[in-house]
Amino acid sequence: MANFPCSSIGSSQDRRAQGQARRKQMKRQDHSLWDAKKRRHTPLNLLEESMRGRVPALVPLKYERMIASPFGYFRGAVSVMAADLSLLPHTGIVNQICGDAHVCNLGAYAAPDGRLVFDINDFDETTRAPFEWDLKRLATSLVLAGREAGEKDGFARDAVLAFLERYRKWARTFASMPVLEVARFQVHRLMKVAPLSDLLMKAERATPMHALESLTVPAKNGPGRIFREDKPVLSRLSGSQARQIEAAMKEYCETLLPERQHILAQYRPIDVCFKVVGTGSVGRRNYCIYLQGNGPEDPLFLQIKEEVGSSYLPYLDHVAKNSHHGRLVAEGQRAMQLVSDPFLGWTTIAHRDYLVRQLNDHKATIAVDALKGPGLTAYAEVCGELLARGHARSGDVQMIVGYLGNGDSFSKAIVDFAVAYADQTETDWKALRESRRATKTKAAAAKK
């Protein structure tokens, strides 16, 4: 019988065998390899290139957040790691990847039915690439987060190994489950994980009304509320700028399901602002619209976030480069997440691509200083389970399981890589810090 046009070729047994065969071209123990001498680029030059197209006045703020700590640098230097990973041998097992998998890019948010879920929640760098790139980035982030929380590398190594072994275990579990069960599989033990119980309670409080209180102030010249001014982090827009953002909502609405369009049509725009978010996104155009439904106590905040394409795209020949980047992010997010923001969509403003989503509906992310002691390992295990589910939903988990096998040689190799790359990150961070200090000193001298 012929395959459906969208179906995978071969049985699950055949695909596992294909994954196992990939060990010949990429030995599992070789994932430990890292050698900075083989770089064809300098991190500082790559970072400078990544600043092109950003709002110039905000570039210093991005650098400021990056030099605050090695982990801050890591968050803002996806382009550097993408270039580094592209130089390494890989499995060739292509999957939808998060692209920026790190400990702070998992978080809580509200599902369409109102319940809280915890999942990967940032997909600006999502694309189709070797599955292990997500594992290497998240593993490195665990080492850096552990160091920032004051843990020794021995403890961080144990946490990374727990993450990878949990990933391998759950990948095997998902490979043996019915496909539809994988698609709707939920993690139920989150409240038993100490760092996550606190985070989920924080998310319970992060309602649209809470956002209304924190982001807006009473209008001086009339009833209602408007965005507060807190430059450069938060700046109100008016006139033609505000109208341009509001006009882009027409294209955005067309990307929603009809029932979502009907719900959104019952809200009217009140105010528009420019809002700085995160570390990697600083300098990219990021707007927020405050809408009101049935009165002042029915606010809705939509974030309109510029998307420029994954940092991995220059190194991937099989990925289309001319697609709408907001749409690619939304589709990658829907592929990997159990459930997604019901208002997730995309639009275009002044020939730039944007993702649209709710700004703050029961959203919360982990604080790095909470990742210490047993909490780091417990959190690492949850990360492994969630990333395995995301990869199983959006790629060929049979090939992944066939490649990983029953032993721990792959996991141990990634642990070694994570520690080595965390060391490299600290070296690169110091170089950036010194470069920024020299730039400031030179600028100060020029003013005299």
6 pLDDT band (50/70/90 cuts)?
low
Return the pLDDT at 366. Answer: 85
Return the pLDDT at 391. Answer: 98
Q: Is the pLDDT of residue 207 over 70?
A: yes
Distances (CA, A) of 198 to 114, 115, 365, 375: 19, 16, 10, 11
Q: Rounded to whole angstroms, how far apart are CA atoms 346 and 261?
A: 13
Q: Rounded to whole angstroms, how far apart are CA atoms 420 and 416?
A: 6
pLDDT in tens, 327-380: 999 999 999 999 999 999 999 999 999 999 999 767 778 888 888 888 899 999
Residue 107 backbone phi and psi in degrees, to 5: -165, 175
Cβ-contact 398, 12 below 8 angstroms: yes
Residue 422 backbone phi and psi in degrees, to 5: -65, -40
Return the pLDDT at 339. Answer: 92
| pTM tops 0.85, yes or no | yes
pLDDT in tens, 107-164: 888 888 888 888 999 999 999 999 999 999 999 999 999 999 999 999 999 999 999 9
Residue ranges per domain, the chain?
12-203+367-447, 205-321+332-358
Pairing of strands 352-358, 345-349: antiparallel
Cβ-contact 162, 441 below 8 angstroms: no
pLDDT in tens, 223-232: 889 999 999 9
Share of the chain above pLDDT 70, in %: 96
Q: What is the mean pLDDT of residues 59-87?
A: 97
Q: Is the pLDDT of residue 44 over 60?
A: yes
Beta bridge partners of 117: 109
Pairing of strands 364-365, 234-237: unpaired
Q: Rounded to whole angstroms, how far apart are CA atoms 182 and 386?
A: 11
Torsion of CA 205, 208, 212, 213, to 10 degrees: -10
Cβ-contact 284, 333 below 8 angstroms: no
Cβ-contact 206, 362 below 8 angstroms: yes
Distances (CA, A) of 308 to 155, 231, 429: 37, 24, 24
Q: What is the DSSP letter of 230?
A: B
Q: Rounded to whole angstroms, how far apart are CA atoms 360 and 86?
A: 35
Q: Is the pLDDT of residue 439 over 90?
A: no
Burial of 327-364, coded b for 16+ CB within 10 Å and e otherwise, reads: bbbbbbbbbbbbbbbbbbbbbebeebbbbbbbbbbbbb
Q: Rounded to whole angstroms, how far apart are CA atoms 78 and 280?
A: 8
Return the pLDDT at 291. Answer: 96
CA atoms within 13 A on the CB side of 159: 31
